[in-house]
């Protein structure tokens, strides 16, 4: 098949360029046509200089008001040119681009495009694009695809290569039966691939995206259907009886279980002692007490002579779980071990031996738990925490370590029940919809740049009380493409120069080595760091009860589910906690979304409201970090397509299901390759 060929078969791609494309997950021709744009650029209409606003990306038509000035600063240079359109003047700056001077002739009209920066009356654009009127007209006629790039790979290279491969794509790749396409008004797969990369219009782009999202959800629905068929009424090999130890454990707690916890524990206990395999999703808001239910389930299995494993997505969370389980179960003589990627050498060998010889009752860890060298003795319960971070394959791989073990999946991602039934169709669903009574609700506020210094003063006041704070940025480091977004590295430098003498400040992000991340989180947990500046890497399960403030920069650029998950890192202690949503976007739509969070701390209510606000097929919508890991599809914004694919699969015969699954997987292979959003870690 042509699409299986290496990318080196594409004209202009040699081994050196191929190695760069490999960094983006592109190895074959099929990979490159599935490397979808992360966004699209449409050139704006010309705006008078007098109407320019701070932060907007604008196009102006102007002439130089005076000769451009080139200033040398050592090896660096800056070109400064003031231009006018009759309504006003603006300064244009180009760094290290002295050749631009030749394009700026006094009295000659040019089109300039860039992001406006305004400080009082002073207004400028840095590194603007220069176009002739003819070039500008051409650009306004098409949507320009924007791809995630790596050093040495340009958008032009990707566009040219994709265009070449698309010519080779045949209509035979379409695996959907004609009646399904007709009933759902779907275009062909070949046309969808063409239009997602090179849309003729916004309408054709919407159609292309709809078809590809349908494919993604449809193949997922087929996978869930297969899992469900394989699990219906499966008997369990493990005889489990109720234990008085779990009753003693609950009685010994310094607090009472909430009604929701009690109800869900009864459902779990009944599953485990029913004689059938448990396949249950425990869905609960942040701080609702799901971990305690996992401890109870593991305690019951241990008292019946079996092993349990708990797999979590990050090493920091694994270590926290290990400490919680060990402390709470110490009095019962239960042996808890930790297995992560950083457990090495002799310690790792000893841990593996303890697991294999049943000298460990509860095994807590990361992906390390599913490696081939890990051999269990009587693994009867598999728990995966923060399920959205794991694919179905990983969950199955861990389950394969035991002989038909009980499965419990825990998720803090608030998903409306109507969608959860579809997404977790192979699992029974329990919801912990109640927070502990003594938990103080978080106080929220949505502010703009004018309140920045007030926010910093408030954070320092909390630090002075002995508390700690998080500041969340969407990016790790500065990007020319998204220079308006806050990044962890430069933000830390700026804040340190501003208040570094009054607070201990450090940063954390997903690109750091595991040892570094663990060290920083340990310092923050121990109170040696006052303010932690981080990306969304803290979204998953980090527990620091002394942290009482969170400020989220560029809050309008995150999905509501992500914002709610992030907010869940505070409000975990006895002190009042506060969340500050900082947004430079004061549009009605952005404010409406953020005010949902401002008014409510209920994750499920927030998800329902988000579903009402966001329409289907929002091509330029915010990608949700921390939800189900679909590449193009958004379970909230595309809920209508998700429901349609689920109903479609229910109405299909087993024969057609199998044909679609095999042929669809043949093209999509291990799923979609996607140019990830800047906020996705």
List, in sequence order, every residue forming a beta bridge with 329; answer none if it has no partner.
none
R_g (Cα) of the chain, nearest Å: 28
Q: Which residues contact 285 (CB under 8 A, 6 or more apart)?
A: 412, 414, 432, 433, 435, 568, 602, 603, 604
CATH assignment of 43-136, among 2.40.50.140, 2.40.110.10, 3.40.50.300, 1.10.510.10? 2.40.50.140
Region 129-141: mean pLDDT is 89
The two structure tokens encoding residue 241: 């009886």
pLDDT digits (tens, 9 = 90+) for 526-579: 999 999 999 988 766 568 999 999 999 999 888 888 888 899 899 988 899 999
The two structure tokens encoding residue 331: 């009095």
pTM, entire model:
0.71
The two structure tokens encoding residue 227: 């899992």
pLDDT digits (tens, 9 = 90+) for 280-295: 999 988 788 999 999 9
User: Running DSSP on this structure, what letter comes out for residue 45?
Assistant: P
Tell me the C-alpha distance between 95 and 176, whole Å: 51
The class that CATH gives domain 171-306+379-390+403-439+639-680 is alpha beta
Region 445-471: mean pLDDT is 95
pLDDT digits (tens, 9 = 90+) for 171-182: 678 999 999 999
Fold agreement between 171-306+379-390+403-439+639-680 and 443-600:
yes
**Cα angle 427-369-332, degrees, rounded to a multiple of 5:** 85
Write down the domain spans for the chain. Answer: 1-39+143-169, 43-136, 171-306+379-390+403-439+639-680, 315-377, 443-600
- Residue 251 has a pLDDT of 96
CB atoms within 10 A of CB 412: 26
- Residue 290 has a pLDDT of 92
CATH topology assigned to domain 443-600: Rossmann fold (3.40.50)
Q: Of 45-59, 618-632, 661-675, where does mean pLDDT reach its minimum?
A: 618-632
pLDDT digits (tens, 9 = 90+) for 642-681: 999 999 999 999 999 999 988 888 788 654 433 332 222 2
Note the residue count of the chain: 681
- Residue 50 has a pLDDT of 92
Tell me the C-alpha distance between 96 and 113, whole Å: 18
Element (H, E) at 551: strand 547-552
Tell me the C-alpha distance between 586 and 448, whole Å: 8
């Amino acid at each position: 098949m042509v699409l299986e060929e290496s990318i080196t078969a594409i004209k202009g791609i040699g081994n050196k360029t191929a190695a760069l494309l490999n960094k983006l997950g592109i190895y074959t021709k099929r990979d490159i046509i599935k490397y979808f744009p992360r966004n699209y650029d449409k050139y704006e209409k010309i705006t008078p200089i007098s109407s320019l606003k701070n932060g907007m990306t604008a196009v102006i038509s102007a002439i130089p008001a005076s000769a451009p000035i080139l200033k040398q600063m050592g090896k660096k240079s800056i070109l400064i040119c003031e231009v006018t359109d009759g309504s006003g003047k603006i300064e244009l700056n180009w760094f290290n681009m002295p050749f631009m001077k030749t394009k700026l002739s006094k009295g000659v009209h040019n089109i300039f495009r860039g992001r406006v920066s305004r400080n009082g009356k002073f207004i400028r654009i840095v590194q603007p694009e220069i176009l002739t009127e003819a070039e500008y007209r051409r650009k306004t006629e098409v949507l320009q695809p924007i791809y995630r790039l790596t050093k040495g790979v340009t958008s032009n290279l990707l566009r040219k290569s994709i265009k070449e491969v698309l010519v080779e794509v045949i209509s035979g790749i379409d695996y959907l039966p004609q009646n399904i396409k007709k009933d759902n008004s779907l275009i062909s797969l070949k046309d969808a691939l063409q239009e997602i990369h090179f849309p003729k219009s916004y309408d054709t782009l919407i159609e292309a995206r709809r078809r590809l999202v349908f494919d993604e959800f449809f193949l997922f629905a087929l996978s869930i259907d297969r899992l469900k068929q394989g699990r219906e009424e499966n008997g369990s090999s493990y005889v489990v009886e109720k234990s008085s130890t779990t009753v003693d454990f609950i009685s010994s707690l310094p607090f009472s279980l909430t009604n929701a916890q009690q109800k869900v524990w009864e459902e779990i206990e009944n599953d485990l002692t029913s004689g059938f395999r448990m396949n249950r999703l425990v869905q609960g808001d942040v701080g609702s007490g799901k971990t305690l239910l996992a401890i109870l389930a593991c305690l019951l299995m241990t008292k019946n002579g079996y092993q349990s494993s708990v797999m979590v997505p990050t090493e920091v969370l694994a270590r926290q779980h290990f400490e919680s389980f060990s402390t709470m179960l110490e009095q019962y003589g239960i042996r808890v071990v930790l297995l992560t990627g950083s457990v090495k050498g002799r310690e790792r060998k000893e841990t593996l031996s303890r697991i294999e010889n049943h000298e460990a009752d509860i095994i807590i860890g990361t992906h390390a738990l599913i490696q081939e060298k890990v051999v269990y003795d009587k693994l009867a319960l598999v728990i995966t925490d923060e399920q959205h971070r794991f694919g179905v394959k990983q969950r199955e791989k861990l389950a394969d370590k035991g002989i038909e073990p009980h499965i419990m999946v825990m998720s803090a991602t608030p998903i409306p029940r109507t969608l959860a039934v579809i997404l977790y169709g192979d699992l029974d669903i329990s919801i912990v919809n109640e927070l502990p009574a003594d938990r103080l609700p978080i106080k929220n506020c949505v502010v703009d740049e004018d309140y920045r210094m007030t926010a910093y003063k408030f954070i320092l006041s909390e630090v002075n009380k002995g508390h700690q704070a998080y500041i969340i940025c969407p990016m790790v480091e500065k990007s020319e493409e998204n220079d308006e977004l806050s990044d962890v590295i430069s933000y830390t430098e700026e804040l340190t120069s501003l208040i570094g003498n009054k607070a201990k400040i450090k940063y954390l992000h997903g690109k750091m080595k595991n040892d570094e991340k663990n060290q920083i989180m340990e310092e923050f947990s121990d109170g040696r760091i006052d303010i932690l500046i981080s990306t969304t890497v803290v979204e998953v399960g980090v527990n620091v009860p002394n942290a009482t403030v969170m400020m989220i920069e560029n809050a309008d650029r995150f999905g509501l589910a992500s914002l709610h998950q992030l907010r869940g890192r505070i409000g975990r202690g006895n002190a009042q906690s506060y969340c500050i949503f900082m947004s430079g976007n004061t549009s009605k739509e952005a404010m409406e979304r953020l005010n949902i969070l401002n008014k409510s701390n209920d994750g499920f209510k927030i998800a329902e409201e988000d579903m009402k606000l966001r329409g289907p097929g929002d091509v330029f919508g915010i990608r949700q970090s921390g939800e189900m890991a679909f590449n193009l599809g958004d379970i909230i914004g595309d809920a209508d397509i998700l429901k349609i694919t689920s109903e479609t699969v229910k109405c299909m015969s087993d024969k057609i299901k199998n044909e679609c699954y095999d042929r669809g997987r043949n093209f999509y292979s291990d799923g979609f390759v996607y140019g990830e959003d800047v906020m996705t870690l």
